């Protein structure tokens, strides 16, 4: 059985992935991490071998969608569609169901953000500081700060790409039009500078060198760029 776990709420999907893995382990499955490039190396007779000797294995693949967008995706998709008896889980980091190249080979579990997070990121533009901070305060009572930051950084990246004339190919025309409207409220220089500061904040988060909480850091940046 193939299960695809995806969605823009990466934290929720990652939590669900851990639960799925723990369920397999309780059933005495061996969890095998497989890179996307190794997918075609799974022998077709593997399922028969497992059944014959009573072995129980579950394969875990992360971020396969990026590989499926390449020229050799048809071969990989056929490989996946041909694997019927193996237990396999694919986790896609921050990928919405609509963006999946693989749609019909297995069950899809999508984790969507709440409407409030989208209203929050839509409020991120100059001269809207008061509204932005109020929504941030409200969001942090129910949402993880890391998730809020991830969504904000991803959105500002898309704004920057649209402003520079290179919109992401995964976006639909109505999404690009909406982003253009929000990007027009920024000067390109300020928008790119803001995005750079968010990247630096992400680096500090990964290294554990940030002196302030994520919420406080977002507040300080917004007070400078959204005033």
For the ranges 44-58, 90-104, 105-119, 186-200, the lowest mean pLDDT is seen at: 44-58
Average pLDDT of span 151-177: 92
Same fold across 2-110 and 115-225: no
Average pLDDT of span 177-195: 96
Beta-strand runs (E) in the chain: 2-6, 30-33, 57-62, 87-91, 107-110
What is the CB-side half-sphere exposure of residue 34 using CA atoms within 13 A? 21
Return d(Cα 181, Cα 165) in angstroms, integer.
13
Tens digits of residue pLDDT in 6-29: 999 998 999 999 999 999 999 989
Tens digits of residue pLDDT in 48-105: 445 445 568 888 999 988 877 665 567 777 777 666 678 899 999 999 998 888 877 7
Return d(Cα 20, Cα 92) in angstroms, integer.
14
89 bridge partner residues:
3, 60
- Domain limits, the chain: 2-110, 115-225
Please say whether the beta carbons of 2 and 105 come within 8 A.
Answer: yes
User: How much is the pTM?
Assistant: 0.76
At the topology level, CATH places domain 2-110 in Rossmann fold (3.40.50)
Q: What is the percentage of the chain residues whose pLDDT exceeds 70? A: 88
Confidence of residue 171 (pLDDT cuts 50, 70, 90): confident
Return d(Cα 227, Cα 23) in angstroms, integer.
49
Helices (H) and strands (E) in the chain, counts: 10, 5
CATH number 1.20.272.10 is the correct assignment for the domain at 115-225? yes
Consecutive H or E run containing 125: none
Return d(Cα 189, Cα 178) in angstroms, integer.
20
């Amino acid at each position: 059985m193939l299960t695809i776990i995806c969605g823009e709420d990466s934290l929720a999907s990652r939590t669900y992935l851990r639960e799925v893995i723990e369920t397999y382990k309780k059933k005495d499955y061996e969890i095998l991490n497989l890179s996307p490039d190794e997918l075609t190396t799974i022998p077709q007779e593997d399922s028969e071998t497992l059944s014959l000797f009573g072995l129980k294995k579950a394969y875990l693949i992360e971020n396969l969608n990026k590989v499926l967008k390449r020229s050799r995706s048809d071969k990989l998709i056929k490989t996946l569609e041909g694997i019927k008896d193996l237990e396999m889980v694919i986790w896609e980091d921050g990928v919405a169901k609509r963006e999946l190249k693989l749609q019909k080979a297995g069950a899809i579990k999508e984790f969507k953000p709440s409407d409030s997070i989208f209203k929050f990121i839509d409020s991120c533009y100059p001269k809207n500081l008061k509204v932005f901070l109020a929504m941030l305060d409200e969001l942090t009572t129910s949402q993880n700060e890391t998730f809020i930051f991830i969504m904000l950084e991803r959105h500002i990246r898309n704004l920057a790409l649209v402003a520079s004339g290179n919109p992401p190919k995964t976006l639909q025309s109505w999404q690009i039009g909406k982003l253009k409207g929000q990007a027009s409220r920024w000067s390109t220089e300020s928008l790119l500078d803001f995005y750079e500061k968010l990247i630096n904040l992400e680096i500090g988060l990964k290294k554990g060198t940030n002196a302030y909480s994520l919420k406080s850091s977002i507040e300080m940046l917004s007070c400078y760029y959204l005033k």
